[in-house]
Amino acid sequence: MRWQRLVLSCIALILFVIPMGLWGSLYIVGGDDARLYYLFPKEYLYSYLFNIISGNSLGTNLGYWPVSYASPVVLFIFLVKTLLPWLHTQFFIYGLILSTGFVFFYAFVRDVLPKKGNLYFWSAIIASLYYIFSIYVNKTFFQHQQLSLFLIAVVPGMLFFFQRGLRGKNYKYIVCAALFYSWFSSTFLSIPWFLATLLTLLPLIIYFLWIYGLRLCKSLIMFVGIIFFTNIYWTIHIMVPLLFKTGEATIGSNFASEAFAQQNADLFDALVYLNTPIRQITNTLRTGWDIRQGVGIGQTIGLVYVLVIFWAGTFVHKVKKDTRTLFVTSVFCLLMAMIFITPNFGQWNSALFQFLNDHVPLFSMFRNMYDKFALGMAFAYGFALYSSLIVLGEAHIRRVWQYGASAVLIVVILLQAMPFIWPSYDDDTYSVRINGALNAEYMELTSYIRDMDTTGRFLWYPMTFPGYVFLRDQKLQHHYYIGLSPLQILSGKADTAGFYGMSTPAKTDLNWITLALFRERLYEVIVPILTQQNIQYVIINNEPFPDKEKSGLEGFDFVSLQTPEFKKELLGEKIRDFGKRYSLYTINPDFALPTVFLSENATESARVAQKVKFQKFKDGRYEVEIEKTSKPMKLILLEPTSRFWTSQLGQASQAYNYGNAWDVPEGFEGTVILEFWPNKLVVPSIIFSVLLSLVLLVYCLL
């Protein structure tokens, strides 16, 4: 009906303008996700996202690993920024997520029980409002604001398309679901949240299986297949090490490792105390130990959602079978979400979580479960609320009760959402919201580094424990970007910014070893470790630490251990200053190493035995000219180690816990090409993915 569409559109529009209208004009940046893609999407695409061996991490060493899974979303942001440059890109996108999330959730629940009437319309509106304003979403996803935020819209959208495809026996919708997920979810980056949500929706999947049987299986195969092949531009780089059985350290193997599972076991034990069972029932959530106060009397208004579900339960015997089945399914989803978001309903609950962590591969990705299962919880609560309101309506309870319940629900939803809709920021002394530009000196620094003719990497002094850099806003005094180093994005040059950056894929505990060396003040050992990681320059950040972040950046006294003596040992010649804030130096020439050189060994302290001439091409190849060698030597390449580096000299071995080495026989002379061959797959796989996506899009539109 037209008026229903009008109401739906009005609510969607209001949701769309909330961030732009009420959340101020500053950009919220920093953290593990940097969130700078809202400001520099073009630079992300150009200098960072499609690198697979070096320059594929921000301030750290990642090894062979693709990071392009975020590229469709960043491309979308780039298009928004290019087409609507006057808008606040970040809040425009947030508004879009809120409104589309609301509309898709509405569409999904309406489609699950396709009946017409005001009851179904208003019930879906209330449930969708709950979903989008749920504290489980706004205290987690909108708190860290990582790219997984897009799942708020993607999950209900994907489920809507998928469900419609199943019901209408129309595979075009299954394709739509797969494409929608592929383009907007950042796939790999959001997998822990996505799979956690699917786990909570397991009863719904079983319900679908019961209704659609084989059709569901076919659709699932099709869905997964499309996602795999449309994402071949990054999945190929996960497949290559598996196919060639190189055993290279990857993020996937890290998640599956016993050490990681053990770390998680310890974490689960602690997190069970973070939220007590009353949290799930009263619709509240504690997201950190700094929130010390328990549930207050005012917060118990969140009970109304469970109350409505229980109330509906008292009438469930009066409604038709399809509604009853929907009610039972949705409540089971909610129960699943409740036992996973914090396993606190008894020791059996935490033991179940622990068992899954120990025995199900990759289950350990659900660490910080109160965050990972938050979307599933919001979805399940909204879904159960919808089915409950339908039960109450179909059971023909008195109108006054029905309207009263709806009104109370709307009031409680809005009351709980007020701090989210209308946030207050305390920016007087410190803030991580910036006005859209980093300070001019930093931009000058990155511009200078971009133009430098070097293959070397850069080191920040002082390094911080989480590997964050702190960069002041251009205009606002107490406003900072504090997060992963954006040097790679803005200059195209790799850097090391902190403790975790000193770990290498070849030696993952090198950072802890270095920390011990710092404690023993063995700087003459530490600096060679850094130069063996191809670090050739040092950026001095002369700005004082922001007080509020000092303890977080300092971890294990890592910053204080970088004494003036270490600085003296580290620095070579000053290249230039960038205002008062930054100074650029070469590294101490006593320890300096070029990216490619000949050495007598590849295991002990690196020393240049014979210099070589080399050139790096845009496609990542190195052309090395070697003058006649007087004895057998090692050709060293200080790029992240991998068995996929090839040359006519044969198979590479590992060098100095970081790089690659080839045997060079005595008397060798000539030109050698060093090539990381998976680089050849980058462009063809992108072309394949784009073409396949376009073909599938045309298929959907026809």
Partner 1 sequence: MKNFIIRCFIFIMLIVLGLGLALTGQQDSNLGSILMYQEDGSFFPEPIIPGKSQKGIFTATENNLAIVRLRIQTYNRINNSHIIFRLREVGQKDWSVTNTYALDRFSDGLLYPFGFAPIDDSSGKVFEFELLSVDGSMDNAIGIYSGYHNMALQYVQPMSHFAIKKFRSVVSDPYSLLYLSIFFQPAFIFVLKFLLAKQMFLRVAFILAGYIGMVYVYVPVAFHSNIALFIAAATLYTYLLSGIQVPTIFRVGIAGLIQIPLLVGFGNMLAANRMATLVFFSLLTGVIMAIRESKK
Give contact residues for partner 1 (rule: CB under 8 A).
Answer: 273, 276-278, 280-282, 289, 292-297, 300, 303, 306-307, 309-311, 313-317, 321, 324-325, 327-328, 331-332, 334-335, 338, 345-348
> Which CB, 331 or 655, lies closer to partner 1?
331
> Which CB, 89 or 282, lies closer to partner 1?
282
> Which CB, 5 or 317, lies closer to partner 1?
317
Q: What is the nearest approach in angstroms of partner 1 to the Cβ of residue 331?
A: 5
What does each C-alpha distance from 542 to 126, 469, 580 come to in angstroms? 53, 12, 7
Q: What is the nearest approach in angstroms of partner 1 to the Cβ of residue 443?
A: 42
DSSP of 499-555, one letter per residue?
Answer: GGGG-BTTBTTHHHHHHHHHHTT-HHHHHHHHHTTTEEEEEEE-SPPPGGGHHHHHT
> Which CB, 5 or 292, lies closer to partner 1?
292
Backbone angles phi, psi at 462, to 5 degrees: -80, 150
User: Please, are residues 64 and 53 in contact by the beta-carbon 8 Å criterion?
Assistant: yes
> Which CB, 271 or 487, lies closer to partner 1?
271
CA gap 391, 638 in Å, rounded: 66
Q: What is the nearest approach in angstroms of partner 1 to the Cβ of residue 205?
A: 17
Residue for token pair 């009760």: 401
Q: Which helix (DSSP H) or strand (DSSP E) does residue 614 occupy?
A: strand 613-616
Q: What is the nearest approach in angstroms of partner 1 to the Cβ of residue 202?
A: 14
Q: What is the nearest approach in angstroms of partner 1 to the Cβ of residue 375?
A: 20
The token pair at 370 is 């109160």
User: Please, are residues 601 and 653 in contact by the beta-carbon 8 Å criterion?
Assistant: no
CA gap 247, 48 in Å, rounded: 25
What does each C-alpha distance from 315 to 312, 318, 416 come to in angstroms? 5, 6, 28
Measured from the Cβ of residue 244, the count of other Cβ atoms closer than 10 Å reads 12
CA gap 389, 401 in Å, rounded: 11
> Which CB, 1 or 291, lies closer to partner 1?
291
Cα 547 to chain centroid distance, Å, stands at 27
> Which CB, 297 or 702, lies closer to partner 1?
297
Q: What is the nearest approach in angstroms of partner 1 to the Cβ of residue 310?
A: 5
> Which CB, 282 or 660, lies closer to partner 1?
282
User: Please, are residues 309 and 331 in contact by the beta-carbon 8 Å criterion?
Assistant: yes
Q: What is the nearest approach in angstroms of partner 1 to the Cβ of residue 317?
A: 6
Residue for token pair 């200059």: 491
Q: What is the nearest approach in angstroms of partner 1 to the Cβ of residue 369?
A: 16
Q: What is the nearest approach in angstroms of partner 1 to the Cβ of residue 34?
A: 31
Query: Kind of pairing, strands 659-664 and 633-637?
Result: antiparallel
> Which CB, 74 or 391, lies closer to partner 1?
391
> Which CB, 314 or 447, lies closer to partner 1?
314
CA gap 91, 77 in Å, rounded: 11
> Which CB, 132 or 312, lies closer to partner 1?
312
> Which CB, 176 or 334, lies closer to partner 1?
334
Query: Is residue 156 reached through a cis peptide bond, with omega within 30 degrees of 0 on the bond before it?
Result: no
Q: What is the nearest approach in angstroms of partner 1 to the Cβ of residue 329?
A: 9
Measured from the Cβ of residue 174, the count of other Cβ atoms closer than 10 Å reads 24
Q: What is the nearest approach in angstroms of partner 1 to the Cβ of residue 132?
A: 24
Alpha helices in 342-451 (DSSP H): 347-359, 369-372, 374-394, 399-421, 440-451
DSSP of 141-168, one letter per residue?
Answer: HHHH--GGGGHHHHHHHHHHHHHHHHHT
CA gap 603, 657 in Å, rounded: 8
Indicate the residue type of 201.
L
The token pair at 646 is 């090839």
Q: What is the nearest approach in angstroms of partner 1 to the Cβ of residue 333?
A: 11
Q: In what order do the strands lie in the sheet with 622-626?
A: 613-616, 622-626, 670-676, 645-646
> Which CB, 139 or 472, lies closer to partner 1?
139
First to last CA, the chain: 26
> Which CB, 295 or 421, lies closer to partner 1?
295
User: Please, are residues 439 and 472 in contact by the beta-carbon 8 Å criterion?
Assistant: yes
Q: What is the nearest approach in angstroms of partner 1 to the Cβ of residue 308?
A: 10
CA-closest candidate to residue 496, choices 464, 526, 520, 473: 464
> Which CB, 94 or 130, lies closer to partner 1?
130
Q: What is the nearest approach in angstroms of partner 1 to the Cβ of residue 370?
A: 15
Measured from the Cβ of residue 79, the count of other Cβ atoms closer than 10 Å reads 11
Q: What residues contact 225, with CB distance under 8 A and at least 6 apart?
A: none
Q: What is the nearest approach in angstroms of partner 1 to the Cβ of residue 54?
A: 43
